[in-house]
Amino acid sequence: QILGKAYAVLSDAEQRALYDEQGRVDEEAEALRGERDWQEYWRLLFKKITIKDIKDFEKSYKDSEEELADIKAAYVDFEGDMDRIMESVLCVDYTDEPRIRKIIEEAIDAGEVPSYKSFVKESKQKMNARKRRAEKEAREAEKAKDELGLSGEDDLKALIQSRNKDRKKAMDDFLAQLEAKYGNNAKKGGKKTTAKKGKK
C-alpha cells in the first residue's frame, strides 16, 4: 500500500507538484483512498509472470554476455567455490556444471580472473557430492510437482503458495516449541524475582 501511494503521488502531476512545493500530499485524493484493490492496481501496471516468461528469459540469458559476466563475478566473489557458484548463477542446474567450469577455465587461461586453489584442485569427492545433492533435489522437485498436480501456467504460483504454507507451518511449530520450552520457565522466573524483592 505504501508503494502504491508513492506511485500514485509520483505519477499524478497535481499530487507531485503539491508534494514538491509543500512537502505533503492530498490524502483525500481518489488515488490515495484505502478502498483501492492494490493487487488489482499493480496487476494493471505489471504483467503476470508465467512459466513461459521464465523459460524465454532462460533461453536469452544462457550463453549471453550477461551470464558470462555473472559467472566470472560469482567465481571471484566465492573464490572458486563451485558449490556456491552453482547456487548463485541464474538458470543453471547440475547438468550445466561442465559448461560453467569450462567458461571459468577459459577466463583463468585468459588472465581475466585469478586461479583459486579451491577451484583448480577441487576433489572428485566434492564434485560427486554436489552432483548427488543436485540429483536428489531434482527428484524431490519432480515428486513435489506430481503431488501438487502442477501442469499449467499457474504452476509457479501454486508451488510458491505451497512453499509459503510449509514455511508458515514450520514457523508456527517452531514458536509453539519455544513457548512450550520457555513459557513456563519465564512464569516461574517471574515468581522467584517477586519473592526475592519481598524478602528485601
First-to-final CA distance of the chain: 53
Q: What would the DSSP string read from start to end of 12-49?
A: -HHHHHHHHHHS---TTSGGG-TTS-HHHHHHHHSPPP
Number of domains in the chain: 2
Quick count: other Cβ atoms within 10 Å of Cβ 92? 21
Question: Tell me, what DSSP letter sits at residue 151?
Answer: -
Within a domain: 193: no
Q: Quick one: which of 94, 97, 99, 108 has its CA closest to 63?
A: 99
In this prediction, residue 192 carries a pLDDT of 46
Q: What's phi and psi for 152, nearest 5 deg?
A: -120, -160
152 within domain boundaries: no
Q: How far apart are CA 22 and CA 16, in angstroms?
A: 10
Same domain flag for 37 and 71: no
Select from 91, 122, 153 the last residue of a domain: 122
Q: Residue 61 burial (CB < 10 Å; 0-12/13-18/19+)?
A: middle
Least Cα distance to 94 among 128, 70, 64, 122 occurs for 128
pLDDT digits (tens, 9 = 90+) for 67-89: 999 999 999 999 999 999 999 99
For 72-85, b/e burial (b = at least 16 CB within 10 A) is bebbeebebbbeeb
Same domain flag for 64 and 3:
no
Q: Which domain holds residue 36?
A: 1-45
In a domain, 128, yes or no: no
Task: Using 70 as the pLDDT threshold, list the residues of the chain that sit under it.
Answer: 1, 4, 7-9, 11-12, 15, 24-38, 41, 148-164, 166, 183-200
Whether 106 maps to a domain, the answer reads yes
Residue with cell 509543500: 22
Determine the Cα–Cα distance for residues 70 and 48; give it in Å rounded to an integer: 26
132: in domain: no
Judge whether 84 and 119 are in contact, CB under 8 Å. no
Say whether both 113 and 60 belong to one domain. yes
pLDDT of residue 65: 96
Asked whether residue 40 falls in the same domain as residue 92, the answer is: no
Q: What is the pLDDT of residue 195?
A: 46
- Would you state the pLDDT for residue 68? 96
Q: Judge contact between 113 and 75, C-beta under 8 A.
A: yes
Give CA–CA dist 186/86, Å, rounded: 45
Q: pTM of the prediction? A: 0.55
